[in-house]
Structure 1
Amino acid sequence: MKIKRIAIVGAGTAGWLAANHLGAELSTDPAIDITVIESKDVPTIGVGEGTVPYIMNGLKRFGISEAELLLTCDATFKQGIKFVNWLDQKKHGDNAYYHAFDEPYPGGLDISNYWLNHAKARPFDDVGIQARIAELGLSPKQVSAKEYQGDLAYAYHFDAAKFAQLLAKNAQKKFNVKHRYATIKDAKHDSNGNITHIVSSEGEALAFDFYVDCSGFSSVLIDQQLEVPFISKAEELLTDTVLVQQMPLGAEDKINPYTTATAHEAGWIWDIPLTTRRGTGFVYSSRHMSEQEALVLYAQYLGVEPSEFSPRKLPMQIGYREKFWQKNCVALGLAQGFLEPLEATSILLTDFSAELLAKSFPKHSQDINIEIDYYNEVITYAWERVVDFIKLHYCLSDRKDSSFWLDNQKSETFSEELQARLNKFKIRTPKQSDFFSRFDLFNEKNFLYVLYGMKYHTQPSVLSEAQKQQAQALLDSNDRIVASAEQHLLKHKDWLTGLKSAAERG
């Protein structure tokens, strides 16, 4: 049977990302009908406000204007993450390092061994230029730059609810995706376990050929109907709760072109600048910190009175589904799984999974068995390696001021793959060949910034004089680029203000 009718159960970022990916891939077939079913009774979580550069691939494919994204979603540029106090302050002072988006060794010259041998007095993120550009508060692109192109790699911060609205508008206008309201409470199955109908709270039976579960934590299809088990990662990633508070942005406040991630005794705090406000969140482990302690520390960070402070509380069930594609249903977004928001992995995994689904989408129901095992294998691999990358930030810390940090350093909380990679990186620096799968969403570039930002010890290799000279020449060149950056790059806030002014002038 040809698959014609596709239901996406749940709106929000996940649902509308799925709609755009499927629409972009399948809209040339006039028989395909895609419907997003949104519940008025289930609010979206709406805290995924940070992205990585991968997001651009989809935005360009969908035909979304970058200017429209920036203007309608209160968006700002993100050049990476500034990590503050992830190391022992007694040893390292008020330490900070950047996980930037640029190549740590532009031009293909790996100078990490030169840094280990000769330049460790400088932070590793000085090897490139982006960390210093970001610290100067500069935009990653010039005013004259084309859309989705810049002097430096970048991603975005944006209002998640407004981003979902932009995706919705685009999917309906460009790909003829339909939208309707209904709260799905039940489903009907055939003798093989495939879903034939979904049933609304009013008792209406809605028949489709294929279902995409984007229903968030409730997972109404993949969990409640298909009963796919959940694999917990709570023993690897120890944080399980987040408090969320939006903060006003004053007219004179600067807008950083990066996310700030500040560690505390039992987790960390995100601080994401938009053009209209700051999005902040206090991530912590309830096994290591009480809610009252968290409220006090969070209020202190924001400079507000704890007695007048009532942030939104969200429990985090860390892990993912044993299978992401079961029968004629695929789970995306929070229905698929959830990892704490370090490194903006939620939208990344949703975007990646939705894109792979679109490219693997079966034309006929009998094709499902051909695609399903590969899809599940790929997405499982991607999730496992993302768990490893998030864990990397915690397990490398030498903080000993709380049981949370000590527990994170215990080897039994590492995966075998992460432990094997860390052992390898003790004797040599990471190489591209260590990340042999194209489904490693974080590779040697990302590992280099985190490893050496966190003072990881690697045995340096012996370099020839020619290699030393090449490396030093590249560092000198980067220093000159940074020194002249303010001559051709605007301050981040000025760039964004200029865009808004130009749009208002028409």
Structure 2
Amino acid sequence: MDKVENIVIVGGGTAGWLTAGVIASRHQGRRPHGFSVTLVESPNVPTIGVGEGTWPTLRTTLRKMGVSETEFFRECDAAFKQGARFNRWTTGEADEGYYHPLMLPQGFARLNLVPHWLEDGEDSFCDAVTPQGRLCDRGLAPKTIATPEFESVANYAYHLDAGKFSDFLRRHCCEKLGVRHVLADVTEIETGPNGDVTRLKTEQGPSISGDLFVDCTGFRALLIGGAMQVPFRECSDVLFCDTALAVQVPYQDPADPVASHTISTAQSAGWIWDIGLPTRRGVGHVFSSAHIDADEAERELRAYIGPAADDLTVRRIPIRSGHRETFWKGNVVAVGLSAGFLEPLEASAIVLIELSAKMIAEQLPPNRAVMDVIARRYNDTTAYRWGRIIDFLKLHYSLTKRTDTDFWRDNTRPETIPDRLRGLMELWKYQAPWLHDEFDRAEEVFPAASYQYVLYGMGYRTALPRGAHDAERELAQRALRENRAHTARLMDGLPPHRDLLDKITEHAMMPV
């Protein structure tokens, strides 16, 4: 029956090693019966360190892989992430901004607080419904040293050093999960009569055969774009940014506070990310080369950093916004940059790797006969996820009130907004997004709460029928009071972010 037992992952980095770890940990019980995971990695091609921000999903992924969260923090220069703050996106004014936190609004499963906040909310939407914005303002951590590994007081993801993370995953996969690591350059890809990849020939000598091949070769896309000839579908007509300038900024003082959220500050033709790690900040400018040249973009980046930027080297990263038309063809599936890439506005790179690896591991075909059935399901789900991420990223741009440059004016042109998003924005003029309003699929990557935070953080107004939500008024008022009390408790009980990071290094978290 052509059993699928030998999984070959081509390419390392975060995509390759995270995929290897997810598949190998899920199928550990099959190893004594012939199941294997092999990762083939070139010793001559440097990995692209894409993705210093993650989603909370990575906590579950690492836990299932048997990773120690303490060791992860210590070895990956990791910090906590409680969301993102978007500065100057709405009006461009220096003091304007809002949060997209990682906690759901208070009582989100029971009622939609938007109508009640719209009627009489004095605080920002975020502050009215969740403590997390104020925790970030205060520079507090989302847990204490007594909170067990992977558990939280306030929901959190991670900021991390992508290069160190890849090395950490490699050691864990090889030493704990039995992944075979082959350092070799692929020179030839052999295919069978049905078009499947059967064997990889390498410059260093060994040939590697397999039953299922995962392409994690980054922008080169050796298997999915090369051997399988799957076209790339661009979305530069929707998302204009096509270049990133990245730089590592040291702290002036090793004891400087570490932000527990990503800071995204809008510029004349793009935006600057600012990510705090224990030993440095990762800062970068994402911009549209059609609206600003690289030299001027670099000047904006250095002006943002200040005098500390004078001696720093800036790295340029091309962004080709879009994804493959098909992600799984024959016995080849693309994960990571070989599948596609979008600007890192909502840190979607690593979570797409996680979701892809998880679905491959959970639905791994037992034999070649059913692989095409599973591939069709995988392609449908993955294409839907990419589409919804594109929608959500565009939402940030399409809601702007900025008219100071062509970049911001062009982003609000109706023809640049995807049809589905344009229809939802029309609906949201009269109905606030909530649980089952176009967000009822298991494949959703951004819940309705995320749309609420961005919409109402950027000043969007929904005209609701008067009296339509009176029956929920008492329940809503109670939820808003509970949020105020919860905020006060957390602000009194949580430590500064830097303090917790230092304690993790010195004392460790409680193991699960």
What is the TM-score with the length of structure 1 in the denominator?
Answer: 0.96
Aligned to 1:455: 459
Cα distance between partner residues in 2 of 1:481 and 1:213: 46
What's the offset of the Cα at 1:349? Answer: 0.8
String of CA shifts for 1:20-71, please: whole Å, max 9, x gaps. Answer: 1111222211311111111111111113110111112211111111111111
Aligned to 1:159: 161
The answer (yes or no) to whether the contact 1:9–1:213 under 8 Å persists in 2 is: yes
Cα distance between partner residues in 2 of 1:495 and 1:202: 46
Aligned to 2:492: 487
Aligned to 1:473: 478
Aligned to 1:37: 40
Cα distance between partner residues in 2 of 1:471 and 1:174: 49
Cα distance between partner residues in 2 of 1:292 and 1:308: 16
Cα distance between partner residues in 1 of 2:149 and 2:310: 46
String of CA shifts for 1:64-118, please: whole Å, max 9, x gaps. Answer: 111111111111110000111101136xx62110000111233633211011111
Matched letter for residue 496 of structure 2: K
Aligned to 1:117: 119
Q: Is the aligned partner of 1:12 residue 2:13? A: yes
Matched letter for residue 498 of structure 1: K
Q: How many residues align?
A: 501
CA RMSD, Structure 1 to Structure 2 (Å): 1.7
What's the offset of the Cα at 1:203? Answer: 6.0
Aligned to 1:332: 335
Where does structure 2 lack aligned partners over 5 or more consecutive residues? none
Aligned to 2:185: 183
The answer (yes or no) to whether the contact 2:39–2:181 under 8 Å persists in 1 is: yes
* 1:60-459 to 2 correspondences below 5 Å: 60-89=63-92, 94-106=95-107, 108-119=110-121, 121-126=122-127, 127-202=129-204, 204-249=206-251, 250-304=253-307, 308=311, 310-434=313-437, 435-459=439-463
What's the offset of the Cα at 1:466? Answer: 5.8
Cα distance between partner residues in 2 of 1:67 and 1:307: 35
Runs of 4+ more than 4 Å apart:
305-309, 463-466
What's the offset of the Cα at 1:439? Answer: 0.5
Aligned to 2:29: 28
The answer (yes or no) to whether the contact 1:40–1:181 under 8 Å persists in 2 is: yes
Aligned to 1:502: 507
Cα distance between partner residues in 2 of 1:479 and 1:491: 20
For residues 278 and 23 of structure 1, do their structure 2 counterparts lie closer, same or farther at Cα, with a shift above 3 Å needed? Answer: same
String of CA shifts for 1:191-226, please: whole Å, max 9, x gaps. Answer: 111111112234653222221100001111111111
Matched letter for residue 148 of structure 1: F
The answer (yes or no) to whether the contact 1:79–1:257 under 8 Å persists in 2 is: yes
For residues 307 and 489 of structure 1, do their structure 2 counterparts lie closer, same or farther at Cα, with a shift above 3 Å needed? Answer: closer
Where does structure 1 lack aligned partners over 5 or more consecutive residues? none
SS at the partner of 2:289? coil
SS at the partner of 2:436? helix
The answer (yes or no) to whether the contact 1:299–1:309 under 8 Å persists in 2 is: no
What is the TM-score with the length of structure 2 in the denominator?
Answer: 0.94
The answer (yes or no) to whether the contact 1:185–1:220 under 8 Å persists in 2 is: no
What's the offset of the Cα at 1:296? Answer: 0.6
The answer (yes or no) to whether the contact 2:50–2:349 under 8 Å persists in 1 is: no
String of CA shifts for 1:228-278, please: whole Å, max 9, x gaps. Answer: 000001101000000000011222311011110011011111111111110
What's the offset of the Cα at 1:465? Answer: 5.3
What's the offset of the Cα at 1:181? Answer: 0.3
What's the offset of the Cα at 1:467? Answer: 3.2
Cα distance between partner residues in 2 of 1:272 and 1:280: 6
Matched letter for residue 449 of structure 2: K
What's the offset of the Cα at 1:169? Answer: 1.9
Cα distance between partner residues in 1 of 2:313 and 2:492: 44
Cα distance between partner residues in 2 of 1:199 and 1:302: 47
* Greater shift in the superposed pair: 141-150 or 232-241: 141-150
What's the offset of the Cα at 1:406? Answer: 0.7
String of CA shifts for 1:277-304, please: whole Å, max 9, x gaps. Answer: 1011100000000011101100100113
* Greater shift in the superposed pair: 52-61 or 256-265: 52-61
What's the offset of the Cα at 1:367? Answer: 1.9
The answer (yes or no) to whether the contact 2:224–2:334 under 8 Å persists in 1 is: yes
The answer (yes or no) to whether the contact 2:249–2:309 under 8 Å persists in 1 is: no
